[in-house]
Chains A and B, each alone.
Chain A
């Protein structure tokens, strides 16, 4: 039976860094089995929100639950794959050794390692040291290291930055295949044209949620021609309302 409870439930999440409220009090539900895009300008709190979901962010208030458990619970950790913005893999190991190590930690076998490397299109360079790869290739090694364990929730911080259009298309297709098989994905981007590739959209700016919608509804409700126009429209009306 399909579980229709949200994958992530966030209530009044508050994160303070220094003397600024990075997230002043954010509440949102993120559904299961969908590709949910987290969009907005850099510095808007996207990474902080993702870190809170993964359970590595110190929070000042509110709650974050993933699959009904408090974020960061020991039993959740093997079920979540997290890809940071900067590729976090070992530069002095080969692609295969990296993916195999992170995979083995969550019980993935050699076949899963081969599959994950193939999914990010790195099979031809699987035995090369990560230090010798390009920036885009390194970020894909980082992605493969998260995919290998087939986690139930994938939290991906800007996974398609610096990739060519063909590869970006292929990765988004992969994200949708994973979602179709039941994986929940939270994917951030600051490139607005990626918004239309998501099932659902969260637009963030200055730590607040501007919209929680679908790409079609976003365009319809704002009357904009594209996601970028819709986003600007939302910002303008939000700052107009606060004035």
Chain B
């Protein structure tokens, strides 16, 4: 089991404290990631989809270790990353985990040249390859299909798409096995987005990478993901292989999300109209004060009184590897 899965996230929780007063007394918690579990197969692309503020970015950041988890485990190649005490050993595992951030304009330091930006991971992980930075930087840029002469430029000299390529090159510098892509294309125009998605696909094949893709865009997911998880207000509500999830979405939230996508082709209109569901009214709950029971129940058109508002529905498998957290199916 463990060999098959490169990453296992088990009951992961990340709460942020809300403080008040001069003494910063903790008056509440923002439950950004609340009891999330999933497994990622080696070489696959696992997408986490959700609306803004649902905790998907926090989830990604907690997995790579930018945030310390409140509770739960992150098991990478069979080793629990949250338990490693030895710093040297921790670095060795962290090297294999990289991240690409959403906005390449703010994730690249404007005062450093591209060569310094893409080789920073080599210094952090003290890799031998770091001795010949010019050569390594050139190779990395070639990998992301940029011209080698770009190494002496600054980020502001590049276009948005080129900057995102640099960000991907930086993520590749430590020769990772798993990359967390946090909305890698949402700051880009569609014509550029298509090129970046193609690049990511080529790199995955060439370097046998595993991706965890965090996004709000279900149409992008349809193109690149193997597995899809839908997140709502800090929890996963549905998970399944791509085709299964798109052809047979079960959770009322997933169905609403699919039916709300602005589409362009007649066949897409037909596809979407199959899930014709009344749009959920209202807005997602505050993560500091989520409703009891299923977090979607105040907006859900199919909510069962006395059941959905009382107890959190279990995340159960209804079909092979298709899991859903909804009382309609259990």
Q: Do A and B originate from a single complex?
A: no
Q: Which residues of A contact B (CB under 8 A)?
A: none
